[in-house]
Amino acid sequence: MHQPPPLDTPEGIPITLAFLPMYHTYGLHAFIIKAFLAPNTYVLLKRWDIRIALCVVSRYRITSFPLIPSVVHQIIDYLETHKGDISSLRNIGSGAAYLSPQLAEHLASLSPKDIQFTQGYGMSEVTLAATTTPYPGSLCGRAKPRRGSVGILFPGMEARILREDGSHAAVNESGDLYLKGGNVALGYRKNREANRDTFCNGWLRTGDRFRVDEDGNFYFDDRAKDILKVSGMQVSPVEIEDVLLMHPGNLVVDVTVAGVTGGRTADEKVPRAWVVLSDAGKKQGTAAAVGILEEWSRQNLSKYKWLRGGIEIVDEIPKSATGKVLRRVLQERYDGNVHDQKTKL
């Protein structure tokens, strides 16, 4: 158990900024169901606006701020270019989509020193979440939060990580994540094919690749369906994204990587990156920034992981209302441009 420290708020209870759509499981649980479980004051935004949101944080002394990765990007960029008072924050959480460790640490560096930064992993099929970042020292001191982890299993949850041949993966070995628990859905209504592929002998096949360390901390590796096969080798888009975000010049504020046509065979996809430049990246100029990032990725990735599909500079990465990257939009746009060029030729 964890006893949170007293809060310096008018009623001594958390004040949460609520902007996530409440029709989605994240907002539903965070702002509606949770409201009946613990005392909390909610400040609601009609629509997301970074400038208004940070003004509200300061004016109403917000203590809790549930986020999604696309908003984390905006907050970091805003705080580095404008003045913003977020000293009242005591808890920041991120969910709904993958948040790289580099971005999490960047946001933490701009936040109050005593802030609790939490992440988790979940999906609608597990009624929101399966893992969460534990408070340090909880579980009688056995809980040991780790950098880059999405936390440990919630009580009542079971998990297994399997190799492609169905055998159990070793500690710190990547594999397909399966979950079981009382919060797992019974199945999809009137969809036998999806049920057969997803629900296997009481286990939920998540479609995500994870690894788990010796202390039970889970680490997201990639979406299984997004893994590319290049020259027979597996290529993780998330690994390439993390490398680009790690450039010491901080040239990138957002990036996504996906497979596009251009491999040795008609059905082989090669990795391509869509990048949103930071102010520092924009100062370099588009062509120079692309060259720098290409060289950086080649220095830090094996040859078969190189961005043979190229790097494209974009104004923003298309995402859903809950922060999930819409890779297919970018892939279809790219394929359409390639088709148009071939038609002209």
Q: Return the closest-CA partner of residue 151 out of 71, 206, 213, 72.
A: 213
Domain-ending residue, one of 101, 120, 139: 120
According to DSSP, residue 265 is labeled S
* Cα–Cα distance measured from residue 240 to residue 226, given in angstroms and rounded to the nearest whole number: 12
Domain-ending residue, one of 76, 91, 120: 120
Report the pLDDT value the prediction gives residue 287, as an integer from 0 to 100: 94
From the centroid of its chain, how far is CA 276? 16
Contacts (Cβ under 8 Å, ≥6 apart) of 37: none
Yes or no: say if 325 and 318 are a contact pair by the CB < 8 Å rule.
yes
Q: Return the higher-pLDDT residue of 5 and 135.
A: 135
* Cα–Cα distance measured from residue 91 to residue 16, given in angstroms and rounded to the nearest whole number: 9
CB-count burial class (<10 Å; 0-12, 13-18, 19+) for 98: buried
Residues 38 and 75 reside in one and the same domain: yes
Residues 247 and 299 reside in one and the same domain: yes
pLDDT higher than 90, residue 54: yes
Average pLDDT of the chain, as a whole number = 87
Residue 66's domain comprises 1-120
268-310 residue pLDDT tens: 889 999 999 988 899 999 999 999 999 999 999 999 999 999 9
CATH code (residue 144): 2.30.38.10
- H or E segment and range at residue 340: helix 327-344
Domain-ending residue, one of 120, 135, 150: 120
Give the type of residue at 77.
D
Q: What is the pTM of this model?
A: 0.76
pLDDT higher than 60, residue 219: yes
Ranges 76-85, 208-217, 232-241, 257-266, most confident: 208-217
Q: Return the closest-CA partner of residue 132 out of 203, 22, 53, 26.
A: 26
250-267 residue pLDDT tens: 898 889 999 988 767 767
146-173 residue pLDDT tens: 888 899 999 999 999 999 888 999 999 9
Average pLDDT over residues 103-129: 85
Residues 260 and 331 reside in one and the same domain: yes
Residues 314 and 339 reside in one and the same domain: yes
CATH code (residue 321): 3.30.300.30
Average pLDDT over residues 117-137: 86
* Cα–Cα distance measured from residue 13 to residue 41, given in angstroms and rounded to the nearest whole number: 7
65-75 residue pLDDT tens: 999 887 887 88
Residues 260 and 162 reside in one and the same domain: no
Residues 151 and 216 reside in one and the same domain: yes
pLDDT higher than 60, residue 339: no
pLDDT higher than 70, residue 344: no
* Cα–Cα distance measured from residue 141 to residue 47, given in angstroms and rounded to the nearest whole number: 41
pLDDT higher than 70, residue 22: yes
Picking from 115-124, 177-186, 279-288, which range would have the lowest pLDDT averaged per residue?
A: 115-124
Residue 205 β-bridge partners: 178
Number of independent structural domains in the chain: 3
